[in-house]
Structure 1
């Protein structure tokens, strides 16, 4: 089984990238991906992100058990507006997580607006994915140590493992808090191998970020020196545990 925990659907208003539905379907067919958690691309206003959330919810309804949703409104929206939309996504649309894009939305995860995301995730009992890597200083993985310790019952997934630029900080963060996990998009195979041995493969999750990246990410898992058991954890078992997918 293969579960992609990091994929987008919609037009990205920060990075000018179109994440299409056709690409997601093709990814499932070409690379035998079984389940994908879709999140909106980067949106500034509530109306646009609500439209993208609704499109993701429609995909989940049309393809039950194959596509799931992750909420990603801008945390700088007014508190009541932000909470209402996230609650709608989780409680009404069945979404399985929340995203903080530290870079696209200029959010420090330990700041006021970052903290409100973790508080809400705790109430709703869902994980939080946080962009790490490009986007210093907000995207530094060590910024997640304090939130992880403050909310020990919230699973936090560090998107991209800090990329290469913040790989060292990823290891520091994972040593500090057991509820920190990481998706493996845009990270090096040798780091993944070392970290799986050091921290356990159960703390790493497969993802693509962009559908075009699926083959590359799969090849990395299969060729970087992981055991069969470690590959199984990364490709689907970790996601099933963290996001409680059946």
Structure 2
């Protein structure tokens, strides 16, 4: 079963770009079906109120729970003091299985990490190139699993992505996803140095084509068992399924 661990859904309430205005799934789902992607992790678009945005994602998940997983999006600073309450609602009422946050909003906080530990959830944290954060996360929260998408930098920062590979290899609780990674040699290096058990397939849909992103995993030429880890088993293990 192929699982896309990284897809946005619902509407943001901004208008600076697609990432905070609209993340409709119609085209994504058609492309995902064609590519053979069976399940998808949904994350809200950027929003000024993530409690509201998570409710919108929850409605999409509830409409097809066999197709979607949900991660609770939080803002480490704006939601300070209420992160645990927000995540509790997401877990207990919506059935969400992870936490998402983005450095574009704010750096990750101890409160977020402690909440993830309390609920035993993985954290998908876009560090936007600040991959040194992995050292702090790994050393202070070794019992929490962190997925750093885009191999550490959607901006295609070669030095950041290269540095993240070292963290993947050294720290048992640091993972990466493949969404939007253009430098194929770095994906190859990540698997070679850290192992297939440390990389997850993600597309960053609906804006990137899931079939194109999936093709990169196929081109890695992994053994069938290793490919199965990247394409879904790693995600299922991290969410406890």
Q: Is the 8 A contact 1:2 1:34 kept in 2?
A: yes
1:183 to 177, 180, 184: 177
Q: For 1:160 and 1:149, how far apart are their aligned partners in 2?
A: 22
Picking from 20, 27, 47, the partner of 1:23 is 27
Which secondary structure does the structure 1 equivalent of 2:148 belong to?
Answer: strand
- Give matches, 1:96-245, under 5 Å: 96-103=97-104, 105=105, 107-109=106-108, 114-133=109-128, 139-163=129-153, 164-165=156-157, 166-187=160-181, 188-211=183-206, 212-245=208-241
**Deviation string for 1:79-116 (max 9, x for gaps)?**
3333322211112211000012012x0x223xxxx221
Aligned ranges for residues 52-67 of structure 1 at < 5 Å? 52-67=53-68
**In structure 2, C-alpha distance between the alignment counterparts of 1:16 and 1:115, rounded to whole Å:** 30
Q: Is the 8 A contact 2:165 2:193 kept in 1?
A: no
CA RMSD of aligned residues (A): 1.8
Matched residue, 2:36: 32
In structure 2, stretches of 5+ residues that fail to align are: none
Unmatched runs of 5 consecutive residues or more in structure 1: 134-138
User: In the alignment, which residue of structure 2 is the partner of 1:95?
Assistant: 96
Change (3 A) 1:80 1:162: closer
Deviates more, 1:10-19 or 1:49-58: 10-19
Q: Aligned to 1:19, what secondary structure does the other structure show?
A: coil
Report 1 or 2 for greater relative contact order, CA contacts < 8 Å, sequence distance ≥ 6. Answer: 2
In the superposition, the TM-score normalised over structure 1's length comes to: 0.87
Equivalent residue pairs, number: 231
TM-score by length of 2: 0.88
Cα 1:67–1:243 shift into 2, 3 Å: same
Go from structure 1 to structure 2 and tell me whether the alpha carbon gap of 1:35 and 1:132 turns closer, same or farther (over 3 Å shift). Answer: same
